A and B are shown apart, each in its own frame.
Chain A
Amino acid sequence: MAEKEGILVIAELSPAGAPDAVTLELLGLGARLAASSGKQLQAAAVGIDTASAAATLIASGAAAVFTVEGSAYAAYDPDLHVTALEKVVEEAGPSAVLVGNTTVGQDLVPRLAFALKAGLTTDAVSLEMKGGALASTKPVYGGNAMAVFVSRGKPALASVRPGAGDPAKPDASRTGETVKVDVEAPSPRLSFGGKVLEEGGDVRLEEARVIVSGGRGLGGAEGFEQLRELARLLGGAVGASRPPVDAGWWPSTQQVGITGKIVSPEVYVAVAISGSSQHLSGISDSRVIVAINKDPEAYIFKVSDYGVVGEWQQVLPGLSSRIREILGV
């Protein structure tokens, strides 16, 4: 039976109707929260046909799955999905609601929170239940402070940064209840004209294993050609801090930082970047950070694992040519 005061995970479904990777992470996190607070783990799925999604969600730990079905939910429309989920939350009466901080999640969850007049913490990196209430931790001020947020009243909503938890492992022997929720879909107010995919000649920053980024100290667009050479050798992408983007040396789509893209590569190479707080906040999940800067006092060295103090025009050729030798190219 679906219990009140549960931990409710809102599933994001692929076009084929399967819960995505972030949803499984939320179920992993949610199971831990539920166990520590004696609450029930639940999930919600909205789509054309939610039967197979519900089965996966139950196998992944949800004791109850609330579903809203209809042809109106073929693609994401915020007005329709918010109305559906508002009804689900009213019916489920959860103490906490978890959503992935994805493209859809970022659009959906503020609308849902305001529709419910409920507290919301976005881009949470860790979650905990304290005295039966959700406490969500997120970086603020460009990562210069970590804040823990607790909501007055219930439910508390959180959107969770992808990768913040280990995914739940499905187990087909688990059982759970499916609760169908009837919702009258409102008339659409937005008209979607279709997605236009852009050519990705270079490796995308969010998916790159290696990122070589340049800062103000590169002095011009020409410097980025040398970074591109190093990135190509390492099979990586070229990013930039904000000043080169503002100066028009590198496209704004390749800006790394809290005002650009938040990245988590295996290796992040910061060339002539001193390390503003908003930039550092966008790279702190990198496994290894390498800094090249002529200023030994540059803050970037404090947050790096490897560093060379020197002019990048001289350091970079030495680095690239030895890498070429090592890789035999």
Chain B
Amino acid sequence: MAELNILVCVKQVPDPEGPPSAFEVDSAARKVTPKGIPPVLSPFDENALEAAIRVKEAAGGSITMLSVGNNLSKAVMLKALASGADRLVTVEDPSCDQEGLDAFATASLLAAAVRKAGPFDLILTGRQAADTNAGQVGLGLAQLLSIPAVSVAGKVEVNGGTARVETVLPDGYEVVEASLPLLVTVSHEVGDLRYPSLMAIKKAKTLPMETFKPADLGMEPGSLVINEITELTAPNRERRCRLVEGESPEDAGAKLAALLKEDKII
């Protein structure tokens, strides 16, 4: 078999580990503006990249990273590339801003970019992105490309023209096998993305990179959108906290236990 062409689709999101105050909800504009937190690769997409690197280590091949967005952080991309990818393809445009796209538009742009930059034998995505948590784009992309897909993988292996995937179940896992080409959505059970060396980060700048505009792909993102946000509000999840004090921290702990008993919570 010829060299294995692996594609990893990644999305940049505001760091989901940021505190709630870092996400400013603008109900009028129906958008969330991150305040003082950096963009990061969506965590499950990092897992997908790690899965790709492991497949490449075991079976050989090359890894292309693909991302759709607007004003993508170069530093985030370089660091991810340096972990073990070989090439970057982006679809960038103001019309590809998070607020301007839904899952269908995003997957349509990805599918068009795959047709232009591919073919690929194995396509990996995160199981869901950390901003919308929708879990639609990976499986949707497979549907648009008419290739089979397996979701929520905890392990991905390729042997010849066949992939063996362990999908994560609430109480264990299931082994699924399929011929390539195949799309797999990846979960955190795969393991964390390795850290690149400084040398690798430096070298990443020299890797091949291409950027397309939606028009280059014959696409108009706005016209592809099916699902629209009609209202966006900041939820009130605050609770009234009863702070328990004591003569010492141990005593406060004991008083907490007594209070929980009194309120019939334990």
What residues make up the interface of A, taking CB atoms closer than 8 Å to B?
A: 78-79, 103, 106-107, 110-111, 113-115, 117-123, 135, 138-153, 156, 189-198, 200, 204, 206, 210, 234, 242-243, 246, 252-253, 255, 258-260, 266-267, 274-278, 280, 284, 288-292, 299, 301-311, 314-323, 326-327
Say yes or no: A308-B239 contact (C-beta < 8 A), given A277-B18, A321-B254. no
B151 in contact with A152 (CB, 8 Å): no
Q: How far is the CA of A243 from the CA of B172 in the complex (A)?
A: 24
B257 in contact with A326 (CB, 8 Å): yes
Please pick, from B188, B243, B254, B265, the residue contacting A259 in the complex, using a CB distance under 8 A. Answer: B188
Q: Write 23 A-B pairs (CB below 8 A) sorted by A numbering.
A: A78-B149, A110-B139, A111-B140, A114-B136, A140-B133, A146-B232, A151-B227, A152-B227, A190-B177, A191-B177, A198-B173, A303-B238, A305-B242, A306-B242, A307-B241, A307-B242, A309-B252, A315-B252, A318-B250, A318-B254, A322-B254, A322-B258, A326-B258
Contacts of B152 in A (CB 8 A): 103, 106-107
B234 in contact with A145 (CB, 8 Å): yes
B50 within 8 A of A: no
Q: How far is the CA of A78 from the CA of B21 in the complex (A)?
A: 40
Contacts of B258 in A (CB 8 A): 322, 326
Q: How far is the CA of A326 from the CA of B107 in the complex (A)?
A: 56
B230 within 8 A of A: yes
Closest CB of chain A to B135's CB: distance in Å?
A: 6
Contacts of A303 in B (CB 8 A): 237-239
Q: How far is the CA of A118 from the CA of B226 in the complex (A)?
A: 7
Please pick, from A246, A258, A275, the residue contacting B133 in the complex, using a CB distance under 8 A. Answer: A258
A278 in contact with B253 (CB, 8 Å): no
What residues make up the interface of B, taking CB atoms closer than 8 Å to A?
A: 14, 16-23, 25, 30, 32, 43-44, 102-104, 107, 130-136, 138-140, 142-144, 148-152, 169-179, 188-189, 192, 225-235, 237-244, 246, 248-261, 265-266
A195 in contact with B239 (CB, 8 Å): no
Q: Which secondary structure dominates where chain A touches chain B? A: mixed
Say yes or no: A308-B243 contact (C-beta < 8 A), given A79-B148, A107-B139. yes
Please pick, from A138, A206, A309, A326, the residue contacting B266 in the complex, using a CB distance under 8 A. Answer: A326
B265 in contact with A198 (CB, 8 Å): no
Please pick, from B104, B150, B177, the residue contacting A119 in the complex, using a CB distance under 8 A. Answer: B104
A277 in contact with B20 (CB, 8 Å): yes
Closest CB of chain B to A120's CB: distance in Å?
A: 6
B149 in contact with A111 (CB, 8 Å): yes
B235 in contact with A139 (CB, 8 Å): yes
Please pick, from A110, A156, A242, A284, the residue contacting B17 in the complex, using a CB distance under 8 A. Answer: A242
Closest CB of chain A to B78's CB: distance in Å?
A: 21
Can you list the 10 inter-chain pairs with the closest CB atoms, starting with the nearest? A318-B253, A318-B250, A310-B249, A193-B175, A314-B249, A322-B257, A319-B253, A114-B143, A144-B23, A119-B227
- Nearest-neighbor residue (CB-CB) of B44 within chain A: A259
- Nearest-neighbor residue (CB-CB) of B174 within chain A: A195
Say yes or no: A191-B252 contact (C-beta < 8 A), given A113-B140, A140-B132, A303-B239. no
Contacts of B256 in A (CB 8 A): 290, 306, 308, 315, 318-319, 322
B229 in contact with A147 (CB, 8 Å): yes
Say yes or no: A196-B20 contact (C-beta < 8 A), given A119-B227, A144-B32, A302-B239. no
B178 in contact with A289 (CB, 8 Å): no
Contacts of B178 in A (CB 8 A): 189-191
B226 in contact with A152 (CB, 8 Å): yes
- Nearest-neighbor residue (CB-CB) of B248 within chain A: A314
Contacts of A289 in B (CB 8 A): 239
Q: How far is the CA of A204 from the CA of B242 in the complex (A)?
A: 29
Contacts of B175 in A (CB 8 A): 192-194, 196
Closest CB of chain A to B52's CB: distance in Å?
A: 19
Say yes or no: A117-B104 contact (C-beta < 8 A), given A123-B133, A141-B14, A152-B226. yes
Q: How far is the CA of A314 from the CA of B247 in the complex (A)?
A: 12
Say yes or no: A195-B169 contact (C-beta < 8 A), given A144-B234, A259-B130, A323-B266. yes
Contacts of A299 in B (CB 8 A): 19-21
B188 in contact with A110 (CB, 8 Å): no
Say yes or no: A315-B23 contact (C-beta < 8 A), given A145-B235, A150-B230, A195-B172. no
Please pick, from B234, B252, B260, the residue contacting A290 in the complex, using a CB distance under 8 A. Answer: B260
Q: How far is the CA of A194 from the CA of B112 in the complex (A)?
A: 35
Closest CB of chain A to B229's CB: distance in Å?
A: 5
Closest CB of chain B to A119's CB: distance in Å?
A: 4
B253 in contact with A145 (CB, 8 Å): no
Q: How far is the CA of A246 from the CA of B195 in the complex (A)?
A: 12
Please pick, from B25, B30, B225, B255, the residue contacting A144 in the complex, using a CB distance under 8 A. Answer: B25
Contacts of B260 in A (CB 8 A): 267, 290, 306
- Nearest-neighbor residue (CB-CB) of A122 within chain B: B134
Say yes or no: A103-B170 contact (C-beta < 8 A), given A117-B104, A150-B230, A314-B253. yes
Q: How far is the CA of A156 from the CA of B228 in the complex (A)?
A: 11
Contacts of B226 in A (CB 8 A): 117-119, 151-153
B253 in contact with A192 (CB, 8 Å): no
B130 in contact with A142 (CB, 8 Å): yes
Closest CB of chain A to B130's CB: distance in Å?
A: 6
- Nearest-neighbor residue (CB-CB) of B242 within chain A: A306
A276 in contact with B230 (CB, 8 Å): no
Q: How far is the CA of A150 from the CA of B30 in the complex (A)?
A: 13
Q: How far is the CA of A100 from the CA of B171 in the complex (A)?
A: 18
Closest CB of chain B to A113's CB: distance in Å?
A: 7
